[in-house]
Amino acid sequence: MKKFLSILLAVCLLALCLAGCGASSSGSQAAGGSSAAAGGDATGAGIPADQIKVGVIHIGDPADGSGYSYAHDQGIVGMQQALGLSDDQIIRKNNVADDDAAAIQTALEELVEAGCNIIFATSWGYMDYCEAMAEEYPDIIFSHGTGSKSNGTNFNNYFGRIYQARYLSGVAAGLNTKSNKIGYVAAWGTENGEVTSGCDAFAMGVYSVNPDAEVYVKTTNSWYDPEGEKAAAQALIDLGCDVIGQHCDTPNPQLAAEEAGVYGVGYNSDMAKDAPGAVLTSVVWNWSAYYTTAVQNVIDGTWVAGEKVDNYYGGLAEGFVDITDLSDLCAEGTAEAVEEARAKILSGEWDVFDGEIEGNDGQMHTSEYYLDVNWYFKNVVVK
Amino acid sequence: MSQTKLHSEPLLRVVKRAERPAGQAAALRAVAVVLSIVAGGVFLLALGQNPLAVYGTMLSGAFRSAMAIQGTVRYAIPLCISALAVTLAFKMKFWNIGGEGQLIMGAVFASYFALYHANLPHVVLLVIMALAGALGGGLWALIPAVCKVRWGTNETLFTLMLNYIALYIVQYLRDGPWRDPESAGFSKVARFDKNVALDKLFGVHIGWVIALVLTVVIWVYLRRTKQGYEIAVVGESQDTARYAGIPVRRVVLRTMFLSGAVAGLCGMVQVAGQDMTLSIGVAGGVGFTAIIVAWLCQLHPGMIALVSLCFGVMEKGSGVVQSDLGLSADCADVLQGVILFFILASEFFVRYAFVARKKGGAR
């Protein structure tokens, strides 16, 4: 009987303290709010360039010298140079795993504490934490990359029309295949709009110059899977593909292409560095285009925390996405065809997902928003 | 003149010594802390950093503002509760290395109600979640306990392996049945409704109050109750316990359930107080660090609360060291490792002594 009593006592104690805290929660808000005041006085007009503080959260370490966090940090460095900010105006939090809630929250709070006016969170997994923090600290702009949420006042989303660059790379691929089979290593299947819209744009670029070619897609179900990406590329080459495109993190598909003596199209960084014997061109991001624009907006008072922040979906026109210079491997006439397509997109009269488009299911599709694309273009074959 | 000895005695022998006086043991540990700070300083110097600046930044990073202190406390909460959890089992000399898994299962059980019954009244929901968390952790701990009692399985390996199974269960739920339908193409569990959030007191979720209450409750339980006494006797000698008429099996099962339940409650505190979702980082190694904390404190609940806070300071402070001084996060880990090494090594000197060979050889 005694032991039941002791357990009961413990449970009651617990229930009591849970109940007790319900009443006191309103008081704690004030405590949180006062420390936020130190975070910057972003009300009113802009913030002078020599006073602005910029925070960044990286999932990896920019010191790695390549890859995702490096690319973002190069963008930050580009912004810093363009706007003439000093080193101590930029505060970085590195190696913040995007599934470690405590680490993410602490990193965000430390940037708030350090007085940052705008905080760039570069990985998708930070999204919900940014949303919650934005509510708690309305005086600070939380700018979240590659996500889907925003609040219009101090929490925005930035991402790019990478599909425009992929379309151009598809043109290059379509003109350089001899087997009329082009492989594409995709991180995810149709459930992921980012990957699927990119794949479709690539396939449409191929189709625009080579209607007979087919695009064979293989998914790895991971953003980062060195072995799986290589195996997928190899399988596609074995199926007769002689150009290998990709939407995944490592250069392994390009290395497999080079080994097999076929062509490839890289992604994220200039993969001609990794596989000079295979890469026709690479689809790349220029993050500094956004970071510079965003910080400039805060300096100018175009974006004011608590009042207005816009989402950003830059494309070719903003210089936010592009392809690298075509390599010497490309067939004659490739450069002209790519330039023609680029001019068409830059003219603003046409974009890749305009109008009704036929999918490989025989249906016609229209797309309001490219990240919602969940169908494959008609020349795509899932392998 | 020299004699050849067949069995020469080593120059130094290690012998287990009788208990040192408390003051002496405390002094030894203090020396270890000082030495660890010095050794860490040498490491920092080798990296070209000013050790004083690094230590200073670490302390100020942990305490520089109300917000920093809140962050420090948030790190200490799960460590304290899980260390208390494994202490219950360790007192019985049942090597529960499964605090991590029990924490995770507690988080899973609690998350079910957070996801699917978020519209219950706030306090009712939290009490249900706390009970579910305790039940989840307790049942998870009961599995190795039952096997140990029935078939004499090795509890160290068993509890260790269950940690990974628990982690895979979370992964399965995240990728499958509990996947957030609104998260296109990415696997994650949805963020909980605001109604689920553990209330805050002084800017930190109420988990710190739970940790302090548990500290007192477990201290009383171990030192002042019949059950606590039974645990101690079973830990010292099962035969003695049996001779004294203590139902050993029942004590083992009950204590392991309680140990797991406390860890499971910690899982509930983490998902509702800190994470507001269920992720594979929910425990993040806390269940393992808790073992170190528990032993460092000689299984003393009060000390556990204190030392957990020190770990919180290190964890929080080193984050600021990384961003302020550009020291990579890995260096901060090395520094923590150095400090831990010295403190754990001091335990060796507390319990053992070196005896020099007497002149003239062995007697």
| Contact flag A371-B184 (C-beta cutoff 8 Å) | yes
The predicted pLDDT at position A166 comes to: 96
The predicted pLDDT at position A34 comes to: 37
| Contact flag A28-B201 (C-beta cutoff 8 Å) | yes
Q: What is the pTM of this model?
A: 0.79
Encode pLDDT of A364-373 as tens digits.
998 878 878 8
Distance from CA of B122 to the nearest CA of A (A): 8
DSSP, collapsed to helix, strand or coil, labels residue B118 as: coil
The predicted pLDDT at position A13 comes to: 44
Residues 6+ apart with CB under 8 A from B348: none
- Tell me: pLDDT of B356 over 90: no
Tell which B residues from 177 to 206 touch A, by Cβ distance under 8 Å.
184-186, 188, 191, 198-203, 206
Tell which B residues from 126 to 145 touch A, by Cβ distance under 8 Å.
126-127, 130-131
B interface test, pick of A5, A16, A69, A113 with most B CB neighbours within 10 Å: A113
Mean per-residue pLDDT, A185-212: 93
Q: When comparing pLDDT for A160 and A214, which is higher?
A: A214
Using CA atoms, how far apart are residues B34 and B21, in angstroms rounded to an integer? Answer: 20
Distance of CA B112 to the CA centre of its chain: 25
Which phi-psi region, left, alpha or beta, contains residue A102 (left: φ > 0; alpha: ψ -120 to 50)?
alpha
The predicted pLDDT at position A24 comes to: 37
Average pLDDT, chain A: 86
Using CA atoms, how far apart are residues A11 and A3, in angstroms rounded to an integer? Answer: 12
Using CA atoms, how far apart are residues B90 and B294, in angstroms rounded to an integer? Answer: 9
Q: Which residues of A179-213 are buried (b: 16+ CB within 10 A; e: fewer)?
A: ebbbbbbbbbbbebbbbbbbbbbbbbbbbbbbeeb
DSSP, collapsed to helix, strand or coil, labels residue A277 as: coil
Distance from CA of B200 to the nearest CA of A (A): 5
The predicted pLDDT at position B7 comes to: 64
| Contact flag B202-A148 (C-beta cutoff 8 Å) | no
**Cβ distance A206 to A271 under 8 Å?**
no
Res. B355 pLDDT band, cuts 50 70 90:
confident
The predicted pLDDT at position A182 comes to: 97
Using CA atoms, how far apart are residues B142 and B105, in angstroms rounded to an integer? Answer: 12
Using CA atoms, how far apart are residues B169 and A259, in angstroms rounded to an integer? Answer: 40
Question: In this predicted structure, which of A36-45, B30-39, B194-203, B249-258 has the lowest mean pLDDT?
Answer: A36-45
Q: How far is CA A132 from CA A88, A104, B191, B204, B329, in A?
A: 27, 12, 10, 15, 25
The answer to whether residue B217 neighbours chain A at the CB level (below 8 Å) is yes
| Contact flag A112-B323 (C-beta cutoff 8 Å) | no
Encode pLDDT of A30-48 as tens digits.
333 333 333 444 445 789 9
Encode pLDDT of B97-110 as tens digits.
999 999 999 999 99
Q: Which of B137, B70, B87, B83 is nearest to B271 (CA)?
A: B137
The answer to whether residue B247 neighbours chain A at the CB level (below 8 Å) is no
- Tell me: pLDDT of A239 over 70: yes
Encode pLDDT of B144-198 as tens digits.
999 999 999 999 999 999 999 999 999 999 988 998 887 766 778 989 999 999 9
Using CA atoms, how far apart are residues B43 and B238, in angstroms rounded to an integer? Answer: 46
Residues in B closer than 8 angstroms to A25, CB to CB, are 199-201
The predicted pLDDT at position A37 comes to: 38
- Tell me: pLDDT of B349 over 90: no
The number of C-beta contacts closer than 8 angstroms across A and B is 140
Encode pLDDT of A57-112 as tens digits.
998 888 776 677 888 999 999 999 999 999 999 999 988 888 888 889 889 999 99
Distance from CA of B121 to the nearest CA of A (A): 11
**Cβ distance A377 to A360 under 8 Å?**
yes
- Nearest residue on chain B to A58, alpha-carbon basis: B323
DSSP secondary structure letter of residue A76 = H
Distance from CA of A60 to the nearest CA of B (A): 11
| Contact flag B199-A10 (C-beta cutoff 8 Å) | no
Using CA atoms, how far apart are residues B112 and B133, in angstroms rounded to an integer? Answer: 10
The predicted pLDDT at position A18 comes to: 40
Domains of chain A and CATH, by start:
54-160+287-314 (3.40.50.2300), 162-284+322-382 (3.40.50.2300)
The predicted pLDDT at position A275 comes to: 92
Mean per-residue pLDDT, B345-356: 80
Res. A125 pLDDT band, cuts 50 70 90:
confident
The predicted pLDDT at position B185 comes to: 63
State the maximum Cα–Cα separation within chain A, in Å, rounded to a whole number.
90
Residues in B closer than 8 angstroms to A22, CB to CB, are 122-123, 199
- A141 CB neighbour count, 10 Å cutoff: 29
Using CA atoms, how far apart are residues A209 and A62, in angstroms rounded to an integer? Answer: 39
Average pLDDT, chain B: 89
Residues in A closer than 8 angstroms to B71, CB to CB, are 105-106, 109-110
The predicted pLDDT at position A185 comes to: 96
Res. A23 pLDDT band, cuts 50 70 90:
very low
- B300 CB neighbour count, 10 Å cutoff: 17
| Contact flag A18-B199 (C-beta cutoff 8 Å) | yes
The predicted pLDDT at position A46 comes to: 86
- Nearest residue on chain B to A63, alpha-carbon basis: B328
The answer to whether residue B356 neighbours chain A at the CB level (below 8 Å) is no
